[in-house]
Amino acid sequence: MSVSVSLQDLVFALLKAAPAVIEIVDDRIIDGPDEDTPFPFISFGPDDSVRADAECIPGRQQTLQLDCWSRDQGKLWPCKQLVDAVVGALHEAEGELTVGALVSLRVVLARTFLDGDGKTAHGVVQVTATVEEPVE
């Protein structure tokens, strides 16, 4: 397993353990939704990483994007409620990685907007993790 997959697994577990998130999306936290996925749901979006090596410790800062989706007649508040639940579940959360070690987990951006169809609310939550990588 890679550090990136390990981090995604941790984020998934943190979201599944958050009552405020599960109350809204039930088990719909998805890597790769399709057009039949019922609303509301959370999907994993793009991620990127930059080197963050320290003395003798390889590391990275990895930013994951979580997309929050709702569709309620063009209203933004249901999606805002979901975004706030995701932020609450992840900002400064702690946890164990199966590969590497989590140093910190911080929400660095949260925004909500209507998609072009005028009916679908889209929330974006970006989370940056500082991770110590295993020494090979």
Quick: pLDDT tens for 112-130.
999 999 999 999 999 999 9
Among candidate residues 109, 105, 80, 83, the one with its CA nearest the CA of residue 95: 105
- Tell me the C-alpha distance between 28 and 37, whole Å: 8
Mean pLDDT of 78-91: 98
Q: What is the pLDDT of residue 47?
A: 95
**Structure pTM?**
0.94
pLDDT band at 84 (very low <50, low <70, confident <90, very high): very high
Contact criterion met (CB below 8 Å) for 87 and 11: no
Point out which residues pair with 120 in neighbouring strands: 71
Could you tell me the residue ranges of all domains in the chain?
3-28+42-132
When pLDDT is cut at 50, 70 and 90, the band that residue 57 belongs to is confident
Q: What is the pLDDT of residue 108?
A: 98
Domain 3-28+42-132 CATH assignment equals 3.90.580.10 = no
